[in-house]
């Protein structure tokens, strides 16, 4: 009997679509198609053609942007205004991928620096790395698909894309658009499968590169199972810390941090989670931050006034509720929120001074909860901010340039925002975690470069 997966609208749990899953017996066919395309270089798509395909893809996406917005909302539950921003980003991402193709170039390596290196000229060129297996997450179903698919196509690699089981429709829509834009058959295969089948696929020795966005537990496990020589980029989450000094500008800071904390109900890998506030202004900060949080509208993501939608599944609401209750039992004070609204929505919640061993302090919450911790010594606050194994993006709010530079230097993060929230991102900047938060670097151009490898050519001639 054919296995299927049901796509559910997170807000009211209504059925959106039911789709078939592939099983282990289909993996061989999928990889053979990709291998045959890559091994015969006459199949490779020339650079000008890749540019044409991606440019037309961006054009078609823009034409169908409203359709893509509604599709993303129906499967992911992100509010309309944020889903609209995601689709705009995704279109820009495809354009960035097309533009970067012209930058895939090598360099001349100097010869003649020793007697043994006389009469030679050497240069490097960039080649596609090979078959890319991409495993994606649910929280940005179209934009993440672009970051894994458009980059592979730009690099010249056949790609097998496994979207999150909860949000596959945006990836499938992108695949249809790419096909319409002229992408030859087989260069993109979207597969829906269970975890065992996915593991069989990505750990096959024919896969040259694994792009994984999702939980650290799964990502590091898959990396440990990769075939020798398979490269990888893993993007996991963090518990994004913020340092707020006494001279911070409240007018700019409060709306920024509220957006960074509750965007997509906190289901963002760099969502504001732990805010360390100088004791001198902590009461004022807590009052203003909680007042702004209370004004957020929680509701149906199709309503254009909604600020915070549903969590991806009711199970996640249960988990967030358990973590908040545990924090309260251990001494945290609920400033606002703290309770479920329904089976699918949780109140935007502000907790004051949870214990250091509470789950909200030690794990990525991935829900609409922000924790505030007062401090008297900034170095101690930074030490606490760095204490976890996960290090991704962080932030500091101050008008003192020396304090800003000192904090940027001391925070363990791949990126530190000064006077901006931790979830800031544009798709042409490097983006990724360090330590337990990931390996490799995302961002359109950075991903494309990771999906290529260098080849050096050395000519020897007495005329050189």
Q: What pLDDT digit, counting tens, does each position of 140-169 carry?
A: 999 999 999 999 999 999 999 999 999 999
Mean pLDDT in residue range 322-346: 97
Q: Contact 154/101 with Cβ under 8 angstroms?
A: yes
Mean pLDDT in residue range 279-285: 97
Mean pLDDT in residue range 367-378: 97
Catalytic residue, candidates 86, 235, 316, 450 = 235
Catalytic residue, candidates 157, 269, 345, 371 = 269
State the DSSP code for 101: G
Mean pLDDT in residue range 332-350: 97
Structural domains present in the chain: 4-236+437-459 (3.40.605.10), 241-418 (3.40.309.10)
Q: Is the pLDDT of residue 1 over 80?
A: no
> pLDDT (tens digit, 9 = 90+) per residue, 48-75?
999 999 999 999 999 999 999 999 999 9
Instruction: Please tell me the pTM assigned to this model.
Output: 0.95
- Torsion angles phi and psi, residue 369, rounded to 5: -135, 130
Q: CA–CA distance from 423 to each of 146, 147, 262, 286, 431 (Å)? A: 19, 17, 10, 20, 11
Could you please report the per-residue DSSP string of 253-318? HHHHHHHHHHGGGG-STT---EEEEEGGGHHHHHHHHHHHHHTPPBS-TTSTT-SB---SSHHHHH
Q: Is the pLDDT of residue 2 over 90?
A: no
State the DSSP code for 130: S
> pLDDT (tens digit, 9 = 90+) per residue, 393-404?
999 999 999 999
**Residue 356's pLDDT is what?**
93
Question: Mean of the per-residue pLDDT values for the chain?
Answer: 96
Q: Is the pLDDT of residue 80 over 80?
A: yes
> For residue 390, how many C-alpha atoms fall within 13 Å in the half-sphere facing its CB?
26
The Cα–Cα gap between 323 and 403 comes to 33
> pLDDT (tens digit, 9 = 90+) per residue, 173-206?
999 999 999 999 999 999 999 999 999 999 999 9
Annotated active-site residue 55? The verdict is: no
State the DSSP code for 368: S
**Residue 165's pLDDT is what?**
95
> pLDDT (tens digit, 9 = 90+) per residue, 207-259?
999 999 999 999 999 999 999 999 999 999 899 999 999 999 999 999 999 99
Strand partners, 336: 350
Mean pLDDT in residue range 429-458: 95
Q: Is the pLDDT of residue 359 over 80?
A: yes
Percent of the chain with pLDDT over 70: 100
The Cα–Cα gap between 456 and 126 comes to 9
Q: Which residues contact 73 (CB under 8 A, 6 or more apart)?
A: 79, 80, 83, 301, 302
Q: Is the dihedral of CA 192, 196, 197, 202 positive or negative?
A: positive
Give the SS3 label for residue 343.
Answer: coil
Annotated active-site residue 269? The verdict is: yes
> pLDDT (tens digit, 9 = 90+) per residue, 5-45?
999 999 999 999 999 999 999 999 999 999 999 999 999 99
Could you please report the per-residue DSSP string of 186-234? TSEEE----HHHHHHHHTSTTEEEEEEES-HHHHHHHHHHPPTT-EEEE
């Amino acid at each position: 009997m054919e296995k299927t997966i049901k796509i559910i609208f997170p807000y009211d749990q209504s059925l959106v679509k039911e789709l078939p899953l592939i099983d282990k017996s289909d993996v061989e066919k999928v990889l053979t198609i990709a291998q045959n395309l890559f091994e015969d270089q006459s199949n490779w798509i020339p650079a000008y053609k890749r540019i044409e395909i991606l440019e037309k893809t961006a054009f078609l996406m823009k034409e169908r942007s409203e359709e893509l917005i509604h599709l993303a909302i129906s499967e992911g539950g992100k509010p309309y205004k944020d889903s609209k921003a995601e689709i705009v980003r995704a279109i820009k991402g495809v354009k960035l991928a097309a533009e970067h193709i012209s930058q895939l170039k090598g360099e001349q390596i100097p010869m003649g620096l020793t007697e043994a290196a006389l009469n030679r000229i050497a240069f490097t060129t960039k080649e596609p790395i090979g078959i890319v297996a991409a495993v994606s997450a649910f929280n940005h179903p179209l934009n993440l698909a672009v970051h894994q698919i458009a980059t592979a196509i730009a690099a010249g690699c056949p790609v097998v894309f496994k979207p999150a089981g909860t949000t596959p429709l945006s990836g499938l829509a992108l695949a249809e658009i790419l096909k319409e834009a002229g992408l030859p058959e087989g260069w993109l295969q979207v597969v829906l499968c269970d975890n065992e089948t996915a593991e069989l696929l990505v750990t096959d020795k024919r896969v040259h590169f694994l792009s994984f966005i999702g939980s650290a537990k799964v990502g590091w496990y898959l990396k440990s199972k990769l075939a020798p020589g398979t490269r990888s980029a893993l993007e996991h989450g963090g518990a994004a810390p913020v340092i707020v000094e006494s001279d911070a500008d409240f007018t700019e800071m409060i709306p920024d941090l509220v957006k960074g904390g509750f965007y997509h109900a906190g289901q963002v890998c760099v969502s504001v989670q732990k805010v360390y506030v100088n004791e001198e202004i902590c009461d004022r900060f807590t009052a203003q931050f909680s007042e702004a949080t209370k004004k957020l509208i929680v509701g149906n993501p199709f309503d254009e006034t909604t600020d915070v939608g549903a969590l991806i599944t009711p199970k996640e609401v249960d988990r967030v509720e358990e973590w908040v209750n545990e924090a309260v039992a251990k001494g945290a004070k609920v400033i606002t929120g703290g309770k479920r609204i329904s089976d699918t929505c949780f109140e935007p919640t502000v907790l004051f001074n949870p214990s250091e061993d509470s789950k909200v302090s030690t794990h990525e919450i991935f829900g609409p909860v922000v924790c505030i911790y007062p401090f008297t010594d900034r170095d101690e606050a930074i030490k606490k901010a760095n204490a976890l194994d996960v290090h991704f993006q962080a932030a500091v709010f101050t008008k003192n340039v020396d304090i800003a530079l000192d904090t940027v230097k001391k925070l363990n993060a791949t990126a530190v925002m000064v006077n901006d929230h931790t979830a800031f991102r544009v798709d042409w900047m490097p983006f990724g975690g360090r330590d337990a938060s990931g390996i490799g670097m995302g961002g359109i151009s950075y991903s494309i470069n990771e999906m290529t490898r260098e080849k050096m050519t050395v000519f020897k001639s007495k005329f050189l």
